[in-house]
Structure 1
Amino acid sequence: MLILSLQCDTFEYAVKSPTAQAIDLDPGQLDVPNRFENCLFLLVSIDETDGIKQVTRAAKAIVKVVHATGVKQLIINGFAALSGHPADQHRAQEMLRLLGERLAEREPALPVEHMPFGWRKRWIMDVVAGLWAQRSIRT
């Protein structure tokens, strides 16, 4: 598992168009801006060999970044392009779901937003500069 973690003063995304792996989505959600402040945007790539051990390690590392940055929300986006050997869509979706659960267990007061899997999105972000603001996490 490889994660690119970006601390953002503001982050906004809008769902644009489906890929072949897109989950079902209400058409009313297309082109609707979703805006967040003081958040951690996580681009998460699931490898074909990743399992619960990698998910648990990732959650622990992400919580460390949360504590160092003081962010108030997490946004998780599955992003296969970071992996040389990406998991199939079902395994990737399951690992992303488990990652969200592990994060909620470790930090119950911290909201976790999952961006729709398999959809192309437009992003606008104001990324913070700082020691913990831009990190890569490999488990």
Structure 2
Amino acid sequence: MIDELIIYKKIEDRFKQYRQIKKAVSEYRQDRCIPHEFIYGHAKISDPTANMAVSNLTPLKAVTIGFIRIEKPELWVSLYDAVKAHFDYNNKIISRYMDMIYMQDIGRNKICNDLYIGTTTYYSYRREIIVYATMVACQFGLVKIYE
């Protein structure tokens, strides 16, 4: 059994790194669009456009941000987007909470004051986000609940 706090911490860390991960993926994709060499396919014909298209469709294995290697970075970006979309549709306050805590890096007291919520509600929202994100992350194959 894997400790759920480790999973929750990992998800929260990736959510806080969302912009950095997205930027790293974008930069990698832009670098790949510059043709460095011609790759010959099965028919021994060079097709740089097709090669770029295939390389852009191939998922990245990892990106490095600082000293941290992040496996499956595009899935982490998709996870945040999916969780955000879920709360955009189902609970606008939690959606705003997500923006404040993960995108703007605002502290607990300011979030509580701005959203007119108490500390208990603050932690309740946080838990709701992380539990839902864990369920989606399991579907995406980003985390394992049981080994």
Identify whether the pair has TM-score above 0.5, normalized to the shorter chain.
no
Larger Rg: 2
Using CA pairs under 8 Å that are at least 6 residues apart, name the structure with larger relative contact order, 1 or 2: 1
Q: Which has the higher strand share?
A: 1
Give the TM-score, by structure 1 length.
0.28
Q: Which has the higher helix share?
A: 2
Give the TM-score, by structure 2 length.
0.27
